Structure 1
Amino acid sequence: MEKIDAFCHIMPPEYYTRFFELDGSIAAANLRNRVSAIPSLHDMDVRFRLMDEFGDYRQIINIAAPPVEDLGSPAISKEMSRIGNEAMADLVHKHPDRFAGFTACVPMDDPEAAVEELDYACSELGALGAQIYTSMHGHPMDEDRFDVFYARAAQLDKVIQVHPCRNSTWADYPSETVSKFELWWALGWEMDLSMFMGRMVFSGVLERYPSIKFLIHHGGSMIPHFSGRVGPGLDQLGARTPPGQRADVEHFPLSKRPLDYFKMFYVDTAMFGAAHALRCSIDFFGVDHVLFGSDCPYDPEKGPGYIRSTIKNLGEIGLDDSDRRTIFNGNVRKVFNDTLDAGV
């Protein structure tokens, strides 16, 4: 069965080289050891060998964390976005049997520039959409300044992949200054994704742009598992709001239940081998809103592990062949506008 992996990370050699040249970025410094220990991020020979295990298998790639906004000034963000996009486009062009497409890197510290880069990447390079993060320098992604980007992505009918991005400086408790035990990653990233979804719902982004296509990493994170709170709980919105925040819930922009908006998101299958969690995500969002995605190459084997475990999970949670085919390639083709065989 054909498998198109809709959420994979990469650092093409051109981007990787420039990433290691940058000075003054704490985010780059913190991640250099991590990415340098994963050869398949930047060495295509290593990557192709690990992909060979999975037969009829291709990837949709995006630039690995950290966000370009964390690498320096807005000028650096634009530079790194362009380097990454042109390098990914070149990989897709040269290896269509390996890479079904890419999503653009965009400098969200300058939303107008992000729109320009999205336009360039889609019209000139063939990008399938863009990847953004759950915050930008600590700012929520429902701020008015970002609306121009959502409007353009919806107009172009392009996918917006959403990746979490907090780090250890985001404390777990108000009394502390840093997060401990890597919980900022294991649990904090899932909070980030869930909060992003909630803010897109309640700020009215999905109301204004009902055709917008967000692809949320990690199976929609906490939302399917806490659907009772998201559904009946948020039907009572305002009951818990203190008087000083009444403006948050008055003149509300939504025309239907909050839960109905959450079901509009698309999600991937990157649950790292937790079959029960994958089943929960599919049950909540429905087979038609779930895309095969592995988070390659961030598993302990540095490439194939999460691909293998995700394929195994999809074969053991009670799906029939039609549903598995829908998740492995049908939804990917539909959501990305069925342009994935050009050049193959």
Structure 2
Amino acid sequence: MKIDVFAHVLPPRYAARVFELLRARGDRSAEDYERMMGLDPTLRDLDARFRLMDELGTDYRQVLVMAHTSVEHEAPDVALELARTGNEELAGLVAAHPDRFAGWVAQPALQAGERGLAAIEEAIGEGALGVQVFTAMQGRCLDHPDYEPFFALMARLDRPIWIHPNRTVQWSDFPLTEPQSRFGMYVRAGWPTDTTVTMCRLVFAGYLERWPELKIIVHHSGGTVPMLAGRLKTLQRGPETDKVAARLTHEPLEYLKRFYADTANFGNPIGLRAALDFFGPDHVVFATDFGFSTLFAPETIDDVETVIGDEDLKRTIYERNARRLLRLEAAALVD
């Protein structure tokens, strides 16, 4: 079986409310989001989704993850409403199509404080496999002290965290001279960079030292971490990094290797090889970034088939790691 752990979807009630809020706020990213969310019909049209899934084989299953939508700036009550709406729809899809979907990942409302944490526990109790957050929440890195209770909760619940990059076109490539990103570079280069920075910041903040049981899935094969390992293995000396070195009992790379990277590389076997080499086969999970191009899933499967010759190792990447990480061993995945 192939278990796709990062399969995006955008349910109708959640989508309508998100775009309504973005337009009402005059958010300049609203048009960009609506364009992006319309690139691939499989994101919002179940019939189109199922047709492509059928082409990928009868053994292909998805873990549903909400398509990235910029809602972290909403007021706490609105964020809670959105999270509950989205989570209800995701749970409903899994319940209605157990032969297609292996599970769902909850949307949080971290700006709601204790109520947001309670909503996460409620979602886990209702069947969510874990929680998705973004590299920038309310414009802040995930290592901000306000988010420590979230990481403590996920460590206690022993449930994985999915991290997705979320910079928008408003994040200029050259902020001193240009008003916004050009040529889609905020996605092409910016997102892997944001993933890398977030992973490092969580390590340097000591989160993986304090909560070694944390399980974090990072998108796009861990950004650029595998390719930058040489630059990341040591800390540049200075007042700030000296404090980091004092609180870490291992070298930075050891903590970075604890993350779980996915296989979503858009037809890039070099990236998959780098992820396997850096994170190790037990920390790479199958994912295709389904929902944003009909090419991503078949290209990802081709990458796995090309890069990995050993059939047993393929099964580890396609299925075993996901079952172990997401506690799917006891779940009856419908054949």
Interval of TM-score (by shorter of Structure 1 and Structure 2) = over 0.9
Is the CA contact 2:5–2:62 (under 8 Å) kept in the aligned structure 1? yes
The CA deviation at 1:37 is 4.2
- Pairs within 5 Å for 1:10-49: 10-22=9-21, 23-24=24-25, 26=27, 27-49=29-51
Partner deviation per Cα, 1:222-254 (whole Å, 9 max, x = no partner)? 1101111112xx1xx243x3xxxx145226321
The CA deviation at 1:137 is 2.5
Q: Which residue matches 1:273?
A: 267
Q: State yes or no: 1:249 paired with 2:250.
A: no
Cα distance between partner residues in 2 of 1:20 and 1:145: 27
For structure 2, list consecutive stretches of 5 or more residues without a partner in the other structure.
none
Q: Which residue matches 1:283?
A: 277
Cα distance between partner residues in 2 of 1:36 and 1:271: 21
CA RMSD of aligned residues (A): 1.7
The CA deviation at 1:318 is 3.8
Comparing 320-329 with 75-84, greater Cα deviation is found at 75-84
Say which SS state the counterpart of residue 68 (structure 1) adopts: coil
Cα distance between partner residues in 1 of 2:98 and 2:138: 35
The CA deviation at 1:266 is 0.4
Say which SS state the counterpart of residue 36 (structure 1) adopts: coil
Partner deviation per Cα, 1:77-136 (whole Å, 9 max, x = no partner)? 11111100011001111111111001100012234333122101110x200000000011
TM-score (normalised: structure 1): 0.91
Is the CA contact 1:67–1:133 (under 8 Å) kept in the aligned structure 2? no
Q: 1:194 to 1:37 in 2, by over 3 A?
A: closer
Q: 1:173 to 1:17 in 2, by over 3 A?
A: closer
Cα distance between partner residues in 2 of 1:340 and 1:328: 17
Cα distance between partner residues in 2 of 1:213 and 1:225: 22
Q: Which residue matches 1:160?
A: 161
Partner deviation per Cα, 1:249-300 (whole Å, 9 max, x = no partner)? 226321111110010000100000001111111011000000000001112x
Say which SS state the counterpart of residue 200 (structure 1) adopts: helix
Is the CA contact 1:159–1:336 (under 8 Å) kept in the aligned structure 2? yes
Cα distance between partner residues in 1 of 2:210 and 2:241: 18
The CA deviation at 1:28 is 3.5
Question: Aligned AA for 1:335?
Answer: L
Partner deviation per Cα, 1:44-72 (whole Å, 9 max, x = no partner)? 111111111112101001111113214x3
Q: Which residue matches 2:302?
A: 312
Say which SS state the counterpart of residue 175 (structure 1) adopts: coil
The CA deviation at 1:156 is 0.7
Q: 1:180 to 1:33 in 2, by over 3 A?
A: closer
Cα distance between partner residues in 2 of 1:172 and 1:182: 10
Cα distance between partner residues in 2 of 1:214 and 1:207: 14
Cα distance between partner residues in 1 of 2:94 and 2:130: 14
Say which SS state the counterpart of residue 247 (structure 2) adopts: coil
For structure 1, list consecutive stretches of 5 or more residues without a partner in the other structure.
none
Cα distance between partner residues in 1 of 2:104 and 2:80: 18
Is the CA contact 2:3–2:62 (under 8 Å) kept in the aligned structure 1? yes
Deviant stretches of 4+, over 6 Å? none
Cα distance between partner residues in 2 of 1:133 and 1:285: 21
The CA deviation at 1:19 is 2.9
Q: Which residue matches 1:187?
A: 189
Question: Aligned AA for 2:282?
Answer: D
Say which SS state the counterpart of residue 250 (structure 1) adopts: helix
Q: State yes or no: 1:297 paired with 2:287.
A: no
Is the CA contact 1:101–1:128 (under 8 Å) kept in the aligned structure 2? yes
Question: Aligned AA for 2:48?
Answer: V
Q: Which residue matches 2:256?
A: 262
Say which SS state the counterpart of residue 338 (structure 1) adopts: coil
Say which SS state the counterpart of residue 6 (structure 2) adopts: strand
Comparing 36-45 with 199-208, greater Cα deviation is found at 36-45
Say which SS state the counterpart of residue 267 (structure 1) adopts: strand
Q: 1:75 to 1:29 in 2, by over 3 A?
A: farther
Is the CA contact 2:37–2:292 (under 8 Å) kept in the aligned structure 1? no
Say which SS state the counterpart of residue 162 (structure 2) adopts: strand
Cα distance between partner residues in 2 of 1:320 and 1:343: 24
Cα distance between partner residues in 2 of 1:69 and 1:149: 15
Is the CA contact 1:8–1:61 (under 8 Å) kept in the aligned structure 2? yes
Question: Aligned AA for 1:74?
Answer: P
